[in-house]
Protein backbone atom coordinates (compact mmCIF):
# COMPACT_ATOMS: atom_id res chain seq x y z
CA UNK A 1 0.00 0.00 0.00
CA UNK A 2 2.95 2.30 0.61
CA UNK A 3 3.89 2.22 -3.09
CA UNK A 4 0.28 2.96 -4.08
CA UNK A 5 0.15 5.93 -1.70
CA UNK A 6 3.36 7.29 -3.19
CA UNK A 7 1.95 7.08 -6.71
CA UNK A 8 -1.28 8.80 -5.61
CA UNK A 9 0.67 11.65 -4.00
CA UNK A 10 2.81 12.09 -7.11
CA UNK A 11 -0.35 12.55 -9.19
CA UNK A 12 -1.72 15.40 -7.02
CA UNK A 13 -0.88 18.30 -9.36
CA UNK A 14 -2.27 16.42 -12.37
CA UNK A 15 -5.46 15.67 -10.44
CA UNK A 16 -5.95 19.39 -9.72
CA UNK A 17 -5.37 20.30 -13.36
CA UNK A 18 -7.91 17.67 -14.44
CA UNK A 19 -10.56 19.01 -12.07
CA UNK A 20 -9.94 22.54 -13.34
CA UNK A 21 -10.32 21.37 -16.93
CA UNK A 22 -13.61 19.61 -16.15
CA UNK A 23 -14.99 22.46 -14.02
CA UNK A 24 -14.26 24.97 -16.80
CA UNK A 25 -17.09 23.46 -18.87
CA UNK A 26 -20.50 24.89 -17.78
CA UNK A 27 -22.27 21.57 -18.17
CA UNK A 28 -25.80 22.62 -17.26
CA UNK A 29 -28.55 20.75 -19.10
CA UNK A 30 -29.99 22.70 -22.00
CA UNK A 31 -32.03 22.05 -25.14
CA UNK A 32 -31.06 18.87 -27.01
CA UNK A 33 -29.05 19.11 -30.21
CA UNK A 34 -27.64 16.48 -32.60
CA UNK A 35 -25.16 14.31 -30.64
CA UNK A 36 -26.02 16.28 -27.51
CA UNK A 37 -29.22 14.98 -25.87
CA UNK A 38 -28.65 17.19 -22.82
CA UNK A 39 -27.19 20.19 -24.61
CA UNK A 40 -23.85 21.04 -26.16
CA UNK A 41 -22.05 21.99 -22.94
CA UNK A 42 -22.85 18.66 -21.28
CA UNK A 43 -21.64 16.88 -24.42
CA UNK A 44 -18.45 18.93 -24.33
CA UNK A 45 -17.87 17.93 -20.70
CA UNK A 46 -18.11 14.27 -21.69
CA UNK A 47 -15.66 14.78 -24.56
CA UNK A 48 -13.15 16.42 -22.22
CA UNK A 49 -13.46 13.69 -19.58
CA UNK A 50 -13.18 10.78 -22.00
CA UNK A 51 -10.21 12.36 -23.74
CA UNK A 52 -8.41 12.70 -20.41
CA UNK A 53 -9.18 9.08 -19.50
CA UNK A 54 -8.10 7.83 -22.92
CA UNK A 55 -4.78 9.64 -22.62
CA UNK A 56 -4.25 7.79 -19.33
CA UNK A 57 -4.45 4.53 -21.26
CA UNK A 58 -7.96 3.41 -20.32
CA UNK A 59 -10.59 1.88 -22.55
CA UNK A 60 -13.33 4.49 -23.04
CA UNK A 61 -16.77 4.54 -24.66
CA UNK A 62 -19.05 7.41 -25.55
CA UNK A 63 -22.56 6.03 -25.17
CA UNK A 64 -24.33 8.35 -27.59
CA UNK A 65 -23.59 11.33 -25.33
CA UNK A 66 -26.04 10.05 -22.73
CA UNK A 67 -23.08 8.84 -20.70
CA UNK A 68 -19.56 7.56 -21.11
CA UNK A 69 -17.48 4.95 -19.34
CA UNK A 70 -13.86 4.29 -18.49
CA UNK A 71 -12.82 0.64 -18.11
CA UNK A 72 -9.89 -1.35 -16.78
CA UNK A 73 -9.20 -4.97 -15.85
CA UNK A 74 -10.73 -8.02 -17.56
CA UNK A 75 -13.51 -6.42 -19.56
CA UNK A 76 -16.93 -7.97 -19.11
CA UNK A 77 -16.03 -9.95 -15.97
CA UNK A 78 -18.43 -9.05 -13.12
CA UNK A 79 -18.05 -5.30 -13.64
CA UNK A 80 -17.71 -3.17 -10.52
CA UNK A 81 -19.45 0.13 -11.26
CA UNK A 82 -18.35 3.54 -10.02
CA UNK A 83 -21.08 5.97 -11.03
CA UNK A 84 -20.39 9.70 -11.13
CA UNK A 85 -21.86 12.57 -13.12
CA UNK A 86 -20.61 15.47 -15.19
CA UNK A 87 -23.76 17.61 -15.32
CA UNK A 88 -24.21 20.38 -12.79
CA UNK A 89 -27.02 22.51 -11.39
CA UNK A 90 -27.31 26.17 -12.45
CA UNK A 91 -24.86 28.54 -10.78
CA UNK A 92 -27.39 30.63 -8.82
CA UNK A 93 -26.67 33.77 -6.82
CA UNK A 94 -24.11 34.68 -4.18
CA UNK A 95 -20.83 33.65 -5.78
CA UNK A 96 -17.69 35.66 -4.97
CA UNK A 97 -15.40 33.57 -7.20
CA UNK A 98 -15.65 32.42 -10.81
CA UNK A 99 -17.91 29.33 -10.68
CA UNK A 100 -16.05 27.86 -13.65
CA UNK A 101 -12.56 29.02 -12.75
CA UNK A 102 -11.39 26.10 -10.61
CA UNK A 103 -9.56 28.56 -8.38
CA UNK A 104 -7.24 27.02 -5.78
CA UNK A 105 -6.95 29.00 -2.58
CA UNK A 106 -5.23 27.42 0.39
CA UNK A 107 -6.40 23.81 0.57
CA UNK A 108 -9.62 24.45 -1.35
CA UNK A 109 -10.55 24.25 -5.01
CA UNK A 110 -13.62 26.29 -5.93
CA UNK A 111 -16.17 25.92 -8.70
CA UNK A 112 -19.55 24.49 -9.61
CA UNK A 113 -19.07 20.74 -9.68
CA UNK A 114 -15.93 20.55 -7.54
CA UNK A 115 -18.01 18.83 -4.86
CA UNK A 116 -21.00 17.62 -6.91
CA UNK A 117 -19.74 15.66 -8.73
CA UNK A 118 -16.74 16.38 -10.97
CA UNK A 119 -14.21 16.47 -8.12
CA UNK A 120 -15.18 13.03 -6.77
CA UNK A 121 -15.36 11.66 -10.33
CA UNK A 122 -11.78 12.77 -10.93
CA UNK A 123 -10.75 11.23 -7.60
CA UNK A 124 -12.19 7.88 -8.75
CA UNK A 125 -10.39 8.21 -12.09
CA UNK A 126 -7.06 8.85 -10.35
CA UNK A 127 -7.64 5.89 -8.04
CA UNK A 128 -7.93 3.75 -11.15
CA UNK A 129 -4.83 5.39 -12.61
CA UNK A 130 -2.79 4.66 -9.47
CA UNK A 131 -3.82 0.99 -9.54
CA UNK A 132 -2.86 0.83 -13.19
CA UNK A 133 0.54 2.49 -12.58
CA UNK A 134 1.23 0.18 -9.64
CA UNK A 135 0.57 -2.85 -11.83
CA UNK A 136 -1.96 -4.36 -9.42
CA UNK A 137 -3.77 -7.28 -11.12
CA UNK A 138 -7.57 -7.31 -11.17
CA UNK A 139 -9.98 -10.24 -11.32
CA UNK A 140 -12.99 -8.09 -12.24
CA UNK A 141 -13.63 -5.24 -14.62
CA UNK A 142 -13.68 -1.81 -12.96
CA UNK A 143 -15.95 0.63 -14.78
CA UNK A 144 -16.21 4.35 -14.07
CA UNK A 145 -19.52 5.49 -15.56
CA UNK A 146 -19.73 9.22 -16.26
CA UNK A 147 -23.37 10.23 -16.53
CA UNK A 148 -24.74 13.39 -18.10
CA UNK A 149 -28.21 13.83 -16.55
CA UNK A 150 -28.04 13.06 -12.85
CA UNK A 151 -29.36 16.46 -11.77
CA UNK A 152 -32.39 16.48 -14.07
CA UNK A 153 -33.96 13.02 -13.97
CA UNK A 154 -31.31 10.37 -14.70
CA UNK A 155 -32.43 9.78 -18.28
CA UNK A 156 -28.79 8.91 -18.95
CA UNK A 157 -28.82 5.78 -16.81
CA UNK A 158 -32.22 4.78 -18.14
CA UNK A 159 -30.73 4.95 -21.63
CA UNK A 160 -27.64 3.02 -20.44
CA UNK A 161 -29.81 0.24 -19.06
CA UNK A 162 -31.80 -0.01 -22.27
CA UNK A 163 -28.83 -0.05 -24.67
CA UNK A 164 -25.77 -1.25 -22.74
CA UNK A 165 -24.70 -3.59 -19.97
CA UNK A 166 -25.22 -1.71 -16.72
CA UNK A 167 -23.35 -3.52 -13.92
CA UNK A 168 -25.26 -5.10 -11.06
CA UNK A 169 -23.15 -3.78 -8.20
CA UNK A 170 -21.11 -0.71 -7.35
CA UNK A 171 -20.95 2.67 -5.65
CA UNK A 172 -21.46 6.34 -6.38
CA UNK A 173 -19.01 8.93 -4.97
CA UNK A 174 -21.74 11.57 -4.92
CA UNK A 175 -22.68 12.02 -1.28
CA UNK A 176 -21.01 11.45 2.09
CA UNK A 177 -18.86 9.05 4.05
CA UNK A 178 -18.88 6.57 5.75
CA UNK A 179 -21.44 4.89 3.49
CA UNK A 180 -25.03 5.59 2.50
CA UNK A 181 -26.93 2.34 2.10
CA UNK A 182 -30.38 3.94 2.35
CA UNK A 183 -31.75 6.64 0.08
CA UNK A 184 -35.16 8.13 0.76
CA UNK A 185 -37.93 7.94 -1.78
CA UNK A 186 -38.46 10.94 -4.03
CA UNK A 187 -41.71 12.62 -5.01
CA UNK A 188 -41.83 15.48 -7.49
CA UNK A 189 -45.06 17.44 -7.98
CA UNK A 190 -46.00 20.09 -10.55
CA UNK A 191 -48.73 22.51 -9.50
CA UNK A 192 -50.94 24.96 -11.39
CA UNK A 193 -53.45 27.56 -10.27
CA UNK A 194 -55.29 30.66 -11.48
CA UNK A 195 -54.41 34.29 -10.88
CA UNK A 196 -56.31 35.73 -7.91
CA UNK A 197 -59.09 38.18 -8.76
CA UNK A 198 -59.35 39.66 -5.25
CA UNK A 199 -56.95 40.83 -2.55
CA UNK A 200 -53.38 41.98 -3.04
CA UNK A 201 -52.40 42.05 -6.70
CA UNK A 202 -49.13 40.27 -7.44
CA UNK A 203 -47.82 41.31 -10.82
CA UNK A 204 -44.86 38.97 -11.10
CA UNK A 205 -43.24 36.28 -8.92
CA UNK A 206 -40.75 34.15 -10.85
CA UNK A 207 -38.11 32.32 -8.80
CA UNK A 208 -36.07 29.13 -9.01
CA UNK A 209 -34.58 26.97 -11.73
CA UNK A 210 -34.62 23.44 -10.26
CA UNK A 211 -36.97 21.66 -7.88
CA UNK A 212 -33.99 20.14 -6.07
CA UNK A 213 -32.41 23.48 -5.16
CA UNK A 214 -33.52 25.57 -2.18
CA UNK A 215 -33.58 29.13 -3.57
CA UNK A 216 -31.52 31.55 -1.51
CA UNK A 217 -32.95 34.71 -3.06
CA UNK A 218 -36.33 35.70 -4.44
CA UNK A 219 -38.10 38.77 -5.81
CA UNK A 220 -41.72 39.63 -6.52
CA UNK A 221 -43.45 42.71 -7.92
CA UNK A 222 -46.73 43.73 -6.29
CA UNK A 223 -49.13 46.57 -6.92
CA UNK A 224 -48.58 49.56 -4.62
CA UNK A 225 -46.85 52.89 -4.19
CA UNK A 226 -43.72 54.21 -2.48
CA UNK A 227 -45.56 55.15 0.72
CA UNK A 228 -46.30 51.48 1.41
CA UNK A 229 -42.63 50.45 1.33
CA UNK A 230 -41.93 51.77 4.82
CA UNK A 231 -44.87 49.82 6.22
CA UNK A 232 -43.76 46.59 4.51
CA UNK A 233 -40.18 46.94 5.75
CA UNK A 234 -41.42 47.48 9.31
CA UNK A 235 -43.74 44.49 8.99
CA UNK A 236 -40.88 42.30 7.75
CA UNK A 237 -38.87 43.10 10.87
CA UNK A 238 -41.83 42.24 13.10
CA UNK A 239 -42.21 38.92 11.27
CA UNK A 240 -38.42 38.30 11.39
CA UNK A 241 -38.35 37.88 7.61
CA UNK A 242 -35.33 38.98 5.58
CA UNK A 243 -37.57 40.80 3.12
CA UNK A 244 -37.16 44.37 1.89
CA UNK A 245 -39.49 46.56 -0.16
CA UNK A 246 -38.57 49.33 -2.59
CA UNK A 247 -40.28 51.28 -5.31
CA UNK A 248 -40.09 49.73 -8.76
CA UNK A 249 -41.52 50.49 -12.15
CA UNK A 250 -45.20 49.67 -11.96
CA UNK A 251 -45.31 48.86 -8.25
CA UNK A 252 -43.27 47.62 -5.30
CA UNK A 253 -40.39 45.17 -5.51
CA UNK A 254 -40.09 42.65 -2.68
CA UNK A 255 -36.68 41.04 -2.22
CA UNK A 256 -36.06 38.08 0.10
CA UNK A 257 -32.60 36.92 1.13
CA UNK A 258 -32.35 33.36 2.39
CA UNK A 259 -29.76 30.59 2.29
CA UNK A 260 -29.64 28.35 -0.75
CA UNK A 261 -28.90 24.65 -0.57
CA UNK A 262 -29.82 21.14 -1.66
CA UNK A 263 -33.47 20.08 -1.44
CA UNK A 264 -32.39 16.88 0.31
CA UNK A 265 -31.12 18.88 3.28
CA UNK A 266 -33.47 21.88 3.60
CA UNK A 267 -32.87 22.14 7.34
CA UNK A 268 -29.52 23.74 6.55
CA UNK A 269 -31.01 26.29 4.14
CA UNK A 270 -33.63 29.07 4.24
CA UNK A 271 -36.15 29.16 1.41
CA UNK A 272 -36.53 32.68 -0.01
CA UNK A 273 -39.73 31.71 -1.87
CA UNK A 274 -41.29 30.84 1.47
CA UNK A 275 -40.37 34.22 2.91
CA UNK A 276 -42.03 36.04 0.03
CA UNK A 277 -45.15 33.87 0.39
CA UNK A 278 -45.49 34.68 4.09
CA UNK A 279 -45.11 38.39 3.37
CA UNK A 280 -47.67 38.24 0.57
CA UNK A 281 -50.16 36.56 2.90
CA UNK A 282 -49.60 39.23 5.52
CA UNK A 283 -50.29 41.88 2.87
CA UNK A 284 -53.60 40.27 1.90
CA UNK A 285 -52.93 37.98 -1.04
CA UNK A 286 -55.65 35.49 -1.95
CA UNK A 287 -56.01 32.44 -4.18
CA UNK A 288 -53.23 30.00 -5.02
CA UNK A 289 -50.44 32.05 -3.44
CA UNK A 290 -52.29 32.20 -0.12
CA UNK A 291 -52.81 28.44 -0.29
CA UNK A 292 -49.06 27.91 -0.75
CA UNK A 293 -48.35 30.26 2.15
CA UNK A 294 -50.83 28.40 4.36
CA UNK A 295 -49.72 24.87 3.47
CA UNK A 296 -45.99 25.33 2.97
CA UNK A 297 -44.64 28.81 3.67
CA UNK A 298 -41.15 28.23 5.05
CA UNK A 299 -41.84 24.72 6.34
CA UNK A 300 -39.65 21.90 5.09
CA UNK A 301 -41.22 18.96 6.96
CA UNK A 302 -44.61 18.80 5.26
CA UNK A 303 -46.44 19.42 8.55
CA UNK A 304 -49.16 21.78 7.24
CA UNK A 305 -49.60 19.54 4.21
CA UNK A 306 -50.35 16.65 6.56
CA UNK A 307 -47.46 14.44 5.44
CA UNK A 308 -44.85 14.88 8.19
CA UNK A 309 -43.36 11.46 9.02
CA UNK A 310 -40.13 9.71 9.94
CA UNK A 311 -38.56 6.30 10.56
CA UNK A 312 -35.44 5.21 12.41
CA UNK A 313 -33.59 3.93 9.34
CA UNK A 314 -33.94 6.90 7.02
CA UNK A 315 -35.08 9.88 9.11
CA UNK A 316 -37.80 12.47 8.41
CA UNK A 317 -39.67 13.49 5.29
CA UNK A 318 -38.50 16.77 3.76
CA UNK A 319 -40.25 19.17 1.40
CA UNK A 320 -38.90 21.93 -0.84
CA UNK A 321 -40.73 24.52 -2.92
CA UNK A 322 -38.00 25.09 -5.48
CA UNK A 323 -39.72 26.79 -8.44
CA UNK A 324 -42.55 29.29 -8.72
CA UNK A 325 -43.93 31.22 -11.69
CA UNK A 326 -46.80 33.65 -11.19
CA UNK A 327 -48.19 36.37 -13.44
CA UNK A 328 -51.40 37.29 -15.24
CA UNK A 329 -51.46 33.80 -16.77
CA UNK A 330 -51.63 32.03 -13.41
CA UNK A 331 -49.42 29.94 -11.13
CA UNK A 332 -46.91 27.19 -11.85
CA UNK A 333 -44.80 25.64 -9.05
CA UNK A 334 -42.64 22.59 -8.36
CA UNK A 335 -42.46 20.68 -5.09
CA UNK A 336 -39.74 18.21 -4.11
CA UNK A 337 -40.33 15.62 -1.36
CA UNK A 338 -37.85 13.11 0.07
CA UNK A 339 -39.72 10.47 2.08
CA UNK A 340 -38.63 7.69 4.48
CA UNK A 341 -38.10 4.03 3.64
CA UNK A 342 -41.36 2.95 5.32
CA UNK A 343 -43.55 5.69 3.79
CA UNK A 344 -45.68 5.40 0.66
CA UNK A 345 -45.06 7.97 -2.07
CA UNK A 346 -48.45 7.58 -3.75
CA UNK A 347 -50.30 8.15 -0.47
CA UNK A 348 -48.17 11.22 0.23
CA UNK A 349 -49.12 12.60 -3.19
CA UNK A 350 -52.82 11.99 -2.47
CA UNK A 351 -52.60 13.73 0.90
CA UNK A 352 -50.77 16.74 -0.55
CA UNK A 353 -53.31 17.02 -3.36
CA UNK A 354 -56.16 17.08 -0.84
CA UNK A 355 -54.38 19.63 1.37
CA UNK A 356 -53.87 22.03 -1.55
CA UNK A 357 -57.60 22.06 -2.17
CA UNK A 358 -59.47 23.64 -5.05
CA UNK A 359 -57.14 26.61 -5.62
CA UNK A 360 -54.26 24.46 -6.86
CA UNK A 361 -54.28 21.54 -9.29
CA UNK A 362 -51.58 18.86 -9.21
CA UNK A 363 -50.69 18.30 -12.87
CA UNK A 364 -47.89 15.80 -12.37
CA UNK A 365 -46.66 13.58 -9.57
CA UNK A 366 -43.57 11.40 -10.11
CA UNK A 367 -42.57 8.86 -7.47
CA UNK A 368 -39.21 7.10 -7.07
CA UNK A 369 -39.16 4.40 -4.44
CA UNK A 370 -36.66 4.35 -1.57
CA UNK A 371 -33.46 2.33 -2.03
CA UNK A 372 -31.75 0.11 0.55
CA UNK A 373 -28.78 -2.29 0.57
CA UNK A 374 -28.16 -4.65 3.49
CA UNK A 375 -25.36 -3.41 5.77
CA UNK A 376 -23.80 -6.90 5.91
CA UNK A 377 -23.52 -7.28 2.12
CA UNK A 378 -20.10 -7.98 0.60
CA UNK A 379 -20.14 -4.58 -1.11
CA UNK A 380 -20.90 -2.58 2.03
CA UNK A 381 -18.45 -4.51 4.18
CA UNK A 382 -15.60 -4.06 1.68
CA UNK A 383 -16.23 -0.34 1.28
CA UNK A 384 -16.45 0.24 5.02
CA UNK A 385 -13.23 -1.70 5.50
CA UNK A 386 -11.47 0.52 2.96
CA UNK A 387 -12.78 3.64 4.67
CA UNK A 388 -11.74 2.45 8.12
CA UNK A 389 -8.31 1.19 7.07
CA UNK A 390 -7.44 4.47 5.36
CA UNK A 391 -8.87 6.82 7.97
CA UNK A 392 -9.17 4.91 11.24
CA UNK A 393 -12.75 6.12 11.46
CA UNK A 394 -15.73 3.96 12.54
CA UNK A 395 -17.56 1.70 10.10
CA UNK A 396 -21.10 3.09 9.91
CA UNK A 397 -24.07 3.08 7.56
CA UNK A 398 -26.19 6.21 7.19
CA UNK A 399 -29.16 7.39 5.15
CA UNK A 400 -29.73 10.39 2.89
CA UNK A 401 -32.49 12.39 1.33
CA UNK A 402 -30.31 12.82 -1.72
CA UNK A 403 -30.88 10.73 -4.80
CA UNK A 404 -27.72 9.29 -6.32
CA UNK A 405 -26.98 6.89 -9.14
CA UNK A 406 -26.64 4.17 -6.50
CA UNK A 407 -30.40 3.62 -6.63
CA UNK A 408 -30.08 2.72 -10.33
CA UNK A 409 -28.09 -0.42 -9.52
CA UNK A 410 -29.47 -3.66 -8.15
CA UNK A 411 -26.86 -3.38 -5.39
CA UNK A 412 -25.60 0.19 -5.20
CA UNK A 413 -24.56 2.52 -2.40
CA UNK A 414 -23.30 6.08 -2.13
CA UNK A 415 -19.71 6.21 -0.87
CA UNK A 416 -18.06 9.62 -0.33
CA UNK A 417 -16.75 12.02 -1.08
CA UNK A 418 -17.66 14.49 1.73
CA UNK A 419 -16.40 13.60 5.20
CA UNK A 420 -18.76 13.76 8.22
CA UNK A 421 -17.32 16.96 9.69
CA UNK A 422 -17.29 18.87 6.41
CA UNK A 423 -20.05 21.30 5.44
CA UNK A 424 -22.46 20.39 2.68
CA UNK A 425 -21.77 22.80 -0.18
CA UNK A 426 -23.44 20.94 -3.06
CA UNK A 427 -25.72 23.25 -5.05
CA UNK A 428 -24.53 26.25 -3.01
CA UNK A 429 -22.67 29.43 -3.91
CA UNK A 430 -18.87 29.18 -3.74
CA UNK A 431 -19.01 25.39 -3.94
CA UNK A 432 -15.61 23.90 -3.13
CA UNK A 433 -13.74 20.75 -2.22
CA UNK A 434 -10.86 20.35 0.20
CA UNK A 435 -7.87 19.11 -1.75
CA UNK A 436 -6.63 16.91 1.06
CA UNK A 437 -10.09 15.34 1.29
CA UNK A 438 -9.96 14.61 -2.43
CA UNK A 439 -6.55 12.98 -2.05
CA UNK A 440 -7.86 10.95 0.87
CA UNK A 441 -10.77 9.85 -1.32
CA UNK A 442 -8.35 8.71 -4.02
CA UNK A 443 -6.64 6.51 -1.43
CA UNK A 444 -9.97 5.18 -0.11
CA UNK A 445 -11.33 4.46 -3.58
CA UNK A 446 -8.13 2.70 -4.62
CA UNK A 447 -8.22 0.46 -1.55
CA UNK A 448 -11.94 -0.24 -2.10
CA UNK A 449 -11.39 -1.16 -5.77
CA UNK A 450 -8.59 -3.55 -4.85
CA UNK A 451 -10.68 -5.04 -2.05
CA UNK A 452 -13.58 -5.75 -4.38
CA UNK A 453 -11.82 -6.42 -7.69
CA UNK A 454 -8.18 -7.19 -6.93
CA UNK A 455 -6.73 -10.65 -7.37
CA UNK A 456 -5.04 -10.46 -3.98
CA UNK A 457 -5.75 -8.63 -0.73
CA UNK A 458 -3.70 -5.54 0.09
CA UNK A 459 -0.98 -5.62 2.69
CA UNK A 460 -0.51 -2.59 4.95
Q: Which residues are catalytic?
A: 87, 150
Q: Contact 366/154 with Cβ under 8 angstroms?
A: no
For residue 123, give the 3-state DSSP assignment: helix
Strand positions, DSSP E, 64-115: 67-72, 80-85, 104-105, 108-110
Query: What pairs with residue 256 in β-bridges?
Result: 218, 243
Q: Smallest Cα–Cα separation from 45: which of 32, 54, 36?
A: 36
368 to each of 22, 39, 186, how far by Cα in Å? 30, 25, 5
Work out the burial of residue 320: count CB atoms within 10 Å of its CB; fewer than 13 is exposed, 13-18 middle, 19 or more buried. Answer: buried
Q: Smallest Cα–Cα separation from 197: which of 359, 399, 82, 72?
A: 359
Q: Contact 422/434 with Cβ under 8 angstroms?
A: yes
For the four alpha carbons of 29, 30, 36 and 37, in that order, the dihedral sign comes to positive
For residue 259, give the 3-state DSSP assignment: strand
Instruction: Please tell me the distance from the alpha carbon of residue 71 to that of residue 79, in angstroms, as a whole number.
Output: 9
Instruction: Please tell me the distance from the alpha carbon of residue 147 to that of residue 163, in angstroms, as a whole number.
Output: 14
Amino acid sequence: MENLHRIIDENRSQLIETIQRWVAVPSIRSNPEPDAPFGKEVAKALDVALQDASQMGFETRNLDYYAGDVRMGPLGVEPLAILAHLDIVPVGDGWTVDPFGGMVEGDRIYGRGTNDDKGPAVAALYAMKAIQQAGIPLKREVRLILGCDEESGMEDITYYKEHYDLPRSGFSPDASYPIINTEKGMLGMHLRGNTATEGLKVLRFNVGERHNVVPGSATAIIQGDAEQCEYINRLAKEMTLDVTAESAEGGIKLTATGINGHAAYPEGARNAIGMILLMLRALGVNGALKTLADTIGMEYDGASLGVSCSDRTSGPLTCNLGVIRYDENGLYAELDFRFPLLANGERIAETVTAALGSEIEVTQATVKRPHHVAPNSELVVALLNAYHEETGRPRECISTGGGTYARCLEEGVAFGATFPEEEDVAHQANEYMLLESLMQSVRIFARAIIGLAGEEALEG
